[in-house]
């Protein structure tokens, strides 16, 4: 039996979606973010030392890190369905986007979340200074990087319908989270029509909808 340690409104939603695409049975153990801090509850530390989600148990194996989990599950159970054949050009693109998602796309989106929070939550007496510093970081580094990433991904989807090529793959599942986060807090809108179209296409997939029912609340932080 596969068990997914799932945090509400989080990356672990992708794992539920992948398991639905693969048609596998699985158990979901749910954890709720702290409403003030938005951090994971301490019980997740008992599952994995980093205390983050997702973590998957697959028999004896316990694995964290979305990209590794997705690669493992698609290879072990996909029978070639969601991962292009090793050695093919699609496989190389598949690996690239599997890593790009967390390695390149996510960092400025996390910084956006943090600096926006600094601006709204800094103590009253330092707020003007905190805002000035946050704005400086946002305008010089964070927003230009988010926009460059969006332009780049838009251009890549002009070449193929899906990230790895003409076929939907687990790399599209991995890429869903930064694109959903970009739409929710990174300013992504109709200026990037292919990326918006990508979100529309994935959101209408039956497996995506079933995973939302299994996982519950999935509203990404602004
Ligand atoms: N790169 C890791 C990131 C894991 C991660 O940061 N997960 C978030 C959920 S979106 C989390 O558990 N946050 C709660 C916390 O840090 O306390 C992955 O892709 O699995």
pLDDT by residue for the chain (222 residues), tens only, comes to 999 999 999 999 999 999 999 999 999 999 999 999 999 999 999 999 999 999 999 999 999 999 999 999 999 999 999 999 999 999 999 999 999 999 999 999 999 999 999 999 999 999 999 999 999 999 999 999 999 999 999 999 999 999 999 999 999 999 999 999 999 999 999 999 999 999 999 999 999 999 999 999 898 766
The CA 162 to ligand 1 mean position distance, Å, reads 25
Sign of CA dihedral 167, 187, 149, 221: negative
Closest residue (by CA) to atom 19 of ligand 1?
66
Give the span between the Cα atoms of 104 and 102, in whole angstroms: 6
Tell me if 10 CB under 6 Å of ligand 1: yes
- Probe target for ligand 1 pocket from 52, 64, 113, with the most ligand atoms within 8 Å of CB: 52
pLDDT in tens, 113-127: 999 999 999 999 999
pTM above threshold 0.85: yes
Tell me if 65 CB under 6 Å of ligand 1: yes
Give the span between the Cα atoms of 13 and 123, in whole angstroms: 34
The CA 74 to ligand 1 mean position distance, Å, reads 21
Ligand 1 atom with least separation from CA of 65: 20
Answer yes or no: are the C-beta atoms of 66 and 56 closer than 8 Å.
no
Burial (CB < 10 A; 0-12, 13-18, 19+), residue 183, is middle
pLDDT in tens, 30-75: 999 999 999 999 999 999 999 999 999 999 999 999 999 999 999 9
Closest residue (by CA) to atom 11 of ligand 1?
52
Q: Is the backbone of residue 170 left (phi > 0), alpha (psi -120 to 50) or beta?
A: alpha
């Amino acid at each position: 039996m596969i068990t997914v340690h799932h945090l509400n409104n989080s990356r672990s939603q992708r794992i539920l979606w992948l398991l639905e695409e693969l048609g596998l049975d699985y158990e979901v153990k749910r954890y709720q973010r702290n409403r003030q801090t938005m951090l994971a509850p301490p019980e997740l530390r008992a599952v994995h030392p980093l205390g983050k989600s997702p973590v998957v148990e697959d028999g004896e194996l316990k694995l964290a890190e979305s990209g590794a989990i997705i690669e493992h599950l698609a290879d072990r159970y996909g029978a070639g369905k969601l991962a292009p054949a090793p050695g093919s050009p699609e496989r190389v693109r598949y690996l690239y986007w599997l890593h790009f998602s967390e390695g390149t796309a996510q960092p400025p989106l996390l910084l956006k979340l943090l600096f926006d929070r600094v601006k709204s939550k800094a103590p009253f007496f330092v707020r003007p200074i905190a805002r000035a510093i946050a704005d400086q970081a946002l305008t010089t580094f964070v927003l230009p990087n988010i926009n460059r990433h969006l332009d780049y991904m838009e251009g890549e989807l002009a070449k193929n319908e899906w990230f790895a090529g003409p076929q939907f793959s687990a790399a599209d599942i991995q890429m869903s989270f930064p694109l959903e986060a970009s739409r929710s807090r990174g300013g992504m809108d109709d200026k990037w029509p292919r990326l918006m179209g990508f979100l529309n296409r994935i959101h209408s997939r039956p497996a995506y909808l079933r995973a939302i029912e299994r996982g519950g609340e999935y509203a990404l932080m602004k």
